[in-house]
Amino acid sequence: MRRMVILLLVLAGCRQGVMVPSVGPTATVSGVVAVETAVSSPPTATPLPPQPTATSEVEVVVTETAVSPAQDTFNQLWLTEPPERDDVALAMAYRGLAERPPETAPLVTTPLTEGIHQSFNIPNIDTNTVAVIDAQLRWVSDHAYFWFDTGPGSTPLSQSALREAGESFDAMYEQVVGYFGSEANPGLDGDPRVHVVSAAPGVLCDLEPTATGGCRLGGLVNATDLLPTAVDPRSNGREMFVMNSSLFGSSTFRSVLAHEFRHMIEDNHDAGDDDWAVEGSASLAQVLVGLPESTISRANDFLRNPDQQLNSWPDEGTGPYYGQGYLFNQYLFNRLGAAAYREWATSPANGFLALDQVLAANGLDVQALGIWRDWLVSLVAHTDPNAPPRFDYGELGVETAVSTPILTLPHATESTVHQFAADYYELPLSGGYMVEFTGEATVSLLGAEPFAGERMWLSQRANYSNPRLTRRLDLRGLSSATLSYAVYVDLEEGYDFGYVAVSGDNGRSWQSLVADHMQGLDPADDPADAALTDRFYTGRQRSWTQEVVDLTPFAGQEILLRFEVVTDPIKTFGGLALDNIAISETGFLDDAEILAEGWEAEGFVRAAGRLTQPWQVQVVLFTADGVSVLPVLAVGGETAVFTIPAATYTRPPVLIIAASAPQTLELASYRLLVR
């Protein structure tokens, strides 16, 4: 499915789900902490500059001499994004769609009539299948139609409850649009009203059809519905929410609608943003409209275990990830102000890249990575009476990040931290001691090395994206041809897919190829019929496989060969990697060790098995004069030795150790000694 954004009722993982539980002075930012010695072990081949001035505040090394494969891989992954998925172009390429359909129907000036019935395609979040229901239009408000399932499991409705729901949504609509921008309006169906379709629990979840409760789904926006039916026959062809009818009339129902409305708006501006931006901004919407309870609960769940990767999404236990995303979005809202935050929320760029653009456009002398570092500090400092206003989370009941106490000296530890996450250590109150930190210089990109040599082709990890690797093959004069390649697959099963295809008409249409280790023979590989072809790669095999494909049907022709990945709007894993791509009859072999001419790489990079590991190390000091943040220059592979000065602290100093390598989901290792 193109987008499925879901609000769930229990702490269990599912598609892009929000889990609903049961019921001062400016900070002093000092220079680098005095580094007394720097012990190499061993030094990196290309040291990272301490204060880069590139478009993003990261350790991107640009020199006239060759950089290491690890640094080159880092540079490529940080500075580029894969192309966004274009469902219409894919339908034209694989499904025979002749031309692009209109983006909107003629403007609807007369609303639909209450009492009419229509059929709707409704996804089941447990089985990843689609059912057809009959629904009746029961209420028309200024901004929405309210439809209700007429089948088993539906619940009685009162006119007063319908009126209250309509008035509540109309008020919330104006608030959310004010903060985040507008949905596509009048949208695909030409109607300025959105559709709220309440389906029975037994339709939405794997329950008995007559069930009136027990479904963990609160609601969802499925962006397949925002596509013309000519592009995807499963579409309902309108701006639409699917809601759990058993929640109708509750504050949870209203909170879910606020969350999902933010998703609908985002689809109009940036359908493929990072997980933390997608879910965090939707959770912020719940707070801004006055329904903060479930969001704050999830935020505190995150703060109890803050070593959690910001730019990832899990299969299970998603509640703390909503909380993490919310806290970062709340911090951005406070730090940027409502107007600049709205610029960021409506930017077509993703995550940190969009944030860098907005910061520059507003003349703010800080970059996205610096904002993230400050946010890490806010998580331990915001309750301090001397904390700066930008650290304030208001009276919402947000706790502070749990720190590991270091009570006796000397203290030595070896540990790991997730990328774009932090470990917090509470240091002794007295000060007057030394700290030694050594972080690894590089980190594995996939948890596996290239199939052969140092390099491989790898699809970039991004939501709602379509990385492509294409080249022209001249098979004229051949009576037979054979394609071989090694492939590594780490894709979300049943939602993200990899394809191998050829085109004989210069890219206007594509014919899929079949390899022995592809999925698709089992209906469980694609229960929602979301894949573009019958055979494809999906799932988390996480090992190299060698494939051989017969190209003899295309012998005698000049064709295009393409490897591509199509992801949905939430949760990505390592991606699809390729190595040793060969056509034996022509002598062509690309082992990715050097850049072979002829490839058009869009969202594929020639990656090493490891990439440079940056570190973000800070010490937070609390005194009666304020909160001081001391950044430590920590270069991977070297030991930074620094002193925490003796002083009268109002709270124990906190050491923050964070890792920030792009794309990878692998842990970063470090050693720490306090003496």
pTM for the predicted model, two decimal places:
0.90
- Give 333's Cβ-side CA count (13 Å radius): 22
Could you give the percent of the chain with pLDDT greater than 90? 86
Classify residue 137 by its DSSP letter: E
Write down the mean pLDDT value for the chain: 90
pLDDT band at 596 (very low <50, low <70, confident <90, very high): confident
Question: Is 380 a member of any domain?
Answer: no
454 and 332 inside one domain: no
Return the pLDDT at 629: 95
**Tokens found for residue 446:** 């996939």
**Displacement of CA 550 from its chain's centroid (Å):** 37
Pairwise CA distance, residues 338 & 409, whole Å: 46
337 and 471 inside one domain: no
Nearest to 480 by CA among 535, 581, 557, 546: 557
143 and 266 inside one domain: yes
Question: Is 8 a member of any domain?
Answer: yes
Nearest to 428 by CA among 445, 405, 448: 405
Side by side, the strands of the sheet bearing 668-674 are 35-40, 638-644, 433-439, 668-674, 411-417
Tell me the three-class secondary structure of 589-658, residue by residue.
EECCCCCCCCEEEECEEEEECEEECCEEEEEEEEECCEEEEEEECCCCCEEEEEEECCCCCCEEEEEEEE
Nearest to 219 by CA among 1, 5, 3: 5
Three-state secondary-structure class, residue 512: strand
**Are 417 and 658 in contact, with CB atoms under 8 Å apart?**
yes
Which are the contacts of 264, defined by CB distance < 8 A and separation ≥ 6?
183, 194, 221, 239, 241
Residue 185 reports pLDDT greater than 60? yes
Which are the contacts of 61, defined by CB distance < 8 A and separation ≥ 6?
46, 48, 49, 67, 71, 75, 612
Residue numbers of the domain that contains 498: 448-608
pLDDT digit string (tens) for 614-653?
999 999 999 999 999 999 999 999 999 999 999 999 999 9
Question: Is 568 a member of any domain?
Answer: yes
Radius of gyration of the chain (CA): 26
pLDDT digit string (tens) for 55-68?
335 555 544 457 89
Task: Give the residue from 608, 626, 642 where a domain finishes.
Answer: 608
Q: Tell me, what CATH number does 306's domain have?
A: 1.10.390
469 and 326 inside one domain: no
454 and 316 inside one domain: no
pLDDT digit string (tens) for 90-119?
999 999 999 999 988 999 999 999 999 999
pLDDT digit string (tens) for 315-370?
889 999 999 999 999 999 999 999 999 999 999 999 999 999 999 999 999 999 99
Beta bridge partners of 84: 465
Question: Is 645 a member of any domain?
Answer: no
Q: Tell me, what CATH number does 573's domain have?
A: 2.60.120.260
pLDDT digit string (tens) for 448-501?
999 999 999 999 999 999 999 999 999 999 999 999 999 999 999 999 999 999
Return the pLDDT at 396: 86
Return the pLDDT at 60: 55
CA distances from 538 to 153, 312, 332 (A): 35, 18, 35
pLDDT digit string (tens) for 435-454?
999 999 999 999 999 999 99
Return the pLDDT at 10: 35
327 and 201 inside one domain: yes
Please state whether the peptide bond connecting residue 192 to the residue before it is cis, i.e. omega within 30 degrees of 0: no
Pairwise CA distance, residues 510 & 81, whole Å: 24
Backbone angles phi, psi at 672, to 5 degrees: -135, 135
pLDDT band at 44 (very low <50, low <70, confident <90, very high): very low
Which are the contacts of 219, defined by CB distance < 8 A and separation ≥ 6?
6, 7, 241, 242, 243, 244, 247, 253, 256, 257, 259, 260
Question: Is 402 a member of any domain?
Answer: no
Backbone angles phi, psi at 125, to 5 degrees: -75, -20
pLDDT digit string (tens) for 565-594?
999 999 999 999 999 999 999 999 999 999
466 and 344 inside one domain: no
Question: Is 603 a member of any domain?
Answer: yes
Could you list the beta-strand ranges (E) of 234-281.
240-244
Tokens 């329950």 locate to 207
Question: Is 353 a member of any domain?
Answer: no
- CB neighbour class for 425 (10 Å; exposed up to 12, middle 13-18, buried from 19): buried
332 and 462 inside one domain: no
- Buried b / exposed e over 529-547, threshold 16 CB at 10 Å, is ebbbbebbbbbebeebbeb
Question: Is 526 a member of any domain?
Answer: yes
Beta bridge partners of 578: 457, 487
Number of structural domains (the chain) is: 2
Task: Give the residue from 319, 348, 377 where a domain finishes.
Answer: 348
